[in-house]
Amino acid sequence: MKIKVMTVFGTRPEGIKMAPIIKTMENVPEIESIICVTAQHRQMLDQVLNLFKIDPDYDLNIFKPGQTLTDITIGALKGLESVIMEVNPDILLVQGDTTTVFAGALAAFYQKVKIGHVEAGLRSGNMYSPYPEEANRKLTGVLADFHFAPTETNKRNLLREGYPEDRIFITGNTVIDALKYAVKEDYRFENPLLNSIDYKKERIILMTSHRRENIGRPMESIFSAVNDIVKKYDDVSVVFPIHLNPKVREIAYRVFDGNDKVHLIEPLDYEPFTNLMAKSHIVVTDSGGLQEEAPSLGKPVLVVREETERPEGIEAGTARLVGTDYQNIYSNLDRLLSDQKEYQKMANAVNPYGDGKASERIVDIILRYARRNREE
């Protein structure tokens, strides 16, 4: 009998980071891989499914415009109940810190199914930043049987909270596995705007922002600082693929209105997005995934958040936590754009988040566990 591994995910970043695990399992005859998407995101998840050619066995299709955290939790929990009962997996994998992750772990726990938490042990130390992700991670940790921690720091966080060492595995982050799959030196964009840019002459600031705790004043101040700094440098422009959240879009269109050096575009597919990052000069973001990808590509990243659960990029010198204050963001960008030495200090390719083999390690650990379990 095959080992049944059920993966549950719902949003763009979970899809990107779960895809390498699913692809690795496709080549392991001992494993039956069952894929269930909650579709907490719809279009942004479908972009990922198409790119990685993933065809889910179950699609709960819970997405509703304007969904609240409660809507997502209830929709996912209810939908997963019958799917888990039907599949009865040996292990269920969730990835990261979204509401789908928490609901997925809870649904598995209710059926007494073993849970593997991919990207475990990240902690900012503040329950409201990132919100609600810090809580989702902790809640999932409590329910999980296997903690796949990307880094040593993540493992230490879990040990401090009392999790047994033999259940924590340092694997690296599967985001680096995905990145290696997507970024190509001779990549050509289909998007005419991205294709028309001369990346040797024009310095591109790649920007993304969507965190719930930044929506409102903080986001206005982040966008205003970026809007003003580009006016100072002739050779600098911004590309901002805007998240589909209408609250984010409203602020972006309002603040950047009339600035033709800021290109507001639709969310990009993962492949063009990461290749654009590879050709950009600086990354400004509040995203979790980008904090991991940018250091690997040697791109200085200004993290526009008050706290981060990903200190490794900062310790390595490629990322800087600049908060959401207008002046601080403006002056940090100004310095990076005008001081070549300062730029070079940050533009080092470092890989604190993995070596591209995280999914192999995770699948190996699952296999070892399942084989031992069958022997007993």
| Interface positions with ligand UD1 (CB under 6 A) | 11-13, 40-44, 65-67, 69, 97-99, 132-133, 210, 212, 244-246
Joined tokens for residue 194: 């991205």
293 forms part of the interface with ligand UDP (CB under 6 A): yes
Nearest-approach distance from CB 22 to ligand UDP, in angstroms = 16
42 is catalytic: no
Considering only 267, 342, 347, 369, the residue that binds ligand UDP (CB under 6 A) is: 267
Residue whose Cβ sits closest to ligand UD1: 98
d(CA 121, CA 161): 10
Which of 90/213 has CB closer to ligand UDP? Answer: 213
Contact by Cβ (8 Å): 83, 57: no
Joined tokens for residue 235: 């050779």
Which of 39/87 has CB closer to ligand UDP? Answer: 39
Considering only 53-61, 267-275, 314-322, 361-369, which stretch makes contact with ligand UDP by CB under 6 A?
A: 267-275
210 is catalytic: yes
Considering only 157, 208, 214, 296, the residue that binds ligand UDP (CB under 6 A) is: 208
Nearest-approach distance from CB 195 to ligand UD1, in angstroms = 25
Nearest-approach distance from CB 374 to ligand UDP, in angstroms = 35
218 forms part of the interface with ligand UDP (CB under 6 A): no
Considering only 56, 218, 241, 311, the residue that binds ligand UDP (CB under 6 A) is: 241
Q: Helix (H, G, I), strand (E, B), or coil: what is residue 118?
A: strand
Q: How many positions of this chain bind ligand UDP (CB under 6 A)? A: 17
d(CA 264, CA 18): 28
243 is catalytic: yes
Q: Which long-range CB contacts under 8 A does 53-60 form with residues at least 24 apart?
A: 54/15, 54/19, 54/22, 58/34, 58/83, 60/36
Nearest-approach distance from CB 3 to ligand UDP, in angstroms = 28
Please state, in angstroms and as integers, the Cα–Cα distance from residue 183 to each residue in 52, 161, 189, following that order.
14, 37, 12
203 is catalytic: no
User: In what order do the strands lie in the sheet containing 114-118?
Assistant: 58-59, 31-37, 3-9, 91-95, 114-118, 146-149, 168-170
Q: What is the DSSP letter of 266?
A: P
Tell me which residues in 8-27 interact with ligand UDP (CB under 6 A).
12-13, 16
Residues paired with 114 in a beta bridge:
91
